[in-house]
């Protein structure tokens, strides 16, 4: 999956049909999608419309619904787009801390590529306030925004066939924790024993859109 390395021009939010059974609110401002999701869930409940899923991306939100509810859903999305601005009040705030052992295979190469020491890489990562922008790639894989610009690097040219569950990584403007063993092209800084995904827990994902995250160094 490509990652955005450039912040493009901000377009005006737009609402459109996304096939017969989904509608999209696109071109949200950075950091607005989780808040917009809360508003959409609330308005959809009030309107008595059945939404199958309300999913967010980095700058967009999609509602899947029955084919004949498209107009109603798009009216709600237009309403929400008018009232979700960078200045609107923050939604429900949920903070978590994730304890990390910074011993990742790419810690040295990240420091080298960024022109700083490994100690500085760790400080920048632990000092940052991260927020889950959206989930994707795998169940429980959360894209965390808030990475300091100094640590912004393109993904590794050669992805690893296997990255261990609990690996704490960075790529482009994001940080993430691999919820399970999978292939991966991100730079590995360390690992955590926090369980990101447990299908028998409710909710199964530790990190959800809008969750605020701080990484704490384990000695």
Partner 1 sequence: MTLLVEHVGFTTVQDAGRRGWAHLGVSHSGAADRGSFHLANRLLGNSPGAAVLESAGGVAVRATSDTFVVITGAECDAALNDRPVSHCQPLLMRAGDLLRVSTVHHGVWMYLGVAGGIDGPEQLGSHSHDTFGNIVPLPLDNGSELEVGVLQGPPLGMDTPVALRNSERVAIAAGPHGYMFRQDDLVDIFRQPWTVSGEPNRVGIRLMGPAVHRDFTDELHSFPLVRGAVQLTPAGELVVMLADHPTTGGYPVVGVVLPLDVDRLAQARAGARVTWQWRQV
- Interacting residues toward partner 1 by CB under 8 A: 1-6, 8, 16-22, 24, 26, 37, 52-62, 64, 67, 70, 134-141, 143, 180, 199, 203-205, 208-209
**Nearest distance from C-beta of residue 213 to partner 1, angstroms:** 15
Nearer to partner 1, 2 or 115 (CB): 2
- The DSSP code sequence of the chain is -----S--PPPPPEEEE-STTEEEEE-PPTT-HHHHHHHHHHHHHHHT--EEEEEE-SS-EEEEE-GGGHHHHHHHHHHHHHH--TTSPP---EEEEEEEB---TTHHHHHHHHTS-HHHHHHHHHH--EEEEEE-SSTT-EEEE---GGG-BPPPSS-EEEE-TTEEEEEBTEEEE-SSSEEE-SEEEEE--S-SB-TTSSSSBSS-TTEEEEEEE--
**Nearest distance from C-beta of residue 138 to partner 1, angstroms:** 6
Nearer to partner 1, 62 or 111 (CB): 62
Nearer to partner 1, 20 or 218 (CB): 20
**Nearest distance from C-beta of residue 23 to partner 1, angstroms:** 10
**Nearest distance from C-beta of residue 181 to partner 1, angstroms:** 11
Nearer to partner 1, 107 or 131 (CB): 131
Nearer to partner 1, 60 or 84 (CB): 60
């Amino acid at each position: 999956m490509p990652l955005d390395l450039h912040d493009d021009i901000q377009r005006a939010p737009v609402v459109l049909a996304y096939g017969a059974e989904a509608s999209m609110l696109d071109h949200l401002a950075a950091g607005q999608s989780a808040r917009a999701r809360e508003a959409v869930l609330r308005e959809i409940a009030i309107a008595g419309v059945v939404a199958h899923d309300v999913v967010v991306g980095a700058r967009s939100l999609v509602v899947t619904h029955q084919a004949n509810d498209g107009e109603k859903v798009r009216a709600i999305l237009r309403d929400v787009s008018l009232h979700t601005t960078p200045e609107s009040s923050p939604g429900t705030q949920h903070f978590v801390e994730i304890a990390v052992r910074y011993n990742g295979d790419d810690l040295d190469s990240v420091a080298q590529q960024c022109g700083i020491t490994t100690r500085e890489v760790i400080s920048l990562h632990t000092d940052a306030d991260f927020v889950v922008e959206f989930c994707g790639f795998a169940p429980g894989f959360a894209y965390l925004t808030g990475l300091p610009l100094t640590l912004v690097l393109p993904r590794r040219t050669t992805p690893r066939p296997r990255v261990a569950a609990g690996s704490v990584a960075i790529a482009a403007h994001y940080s993430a924790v691999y919820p399970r063993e999978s292939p991966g092209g991100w730079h590995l800084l360390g690992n955590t024993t926090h369980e990101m995904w447990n299908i028998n827990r409710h909710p199964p994902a530790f990190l959800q859109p809008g969750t605020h995250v701080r990484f704490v160094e384990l000695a």
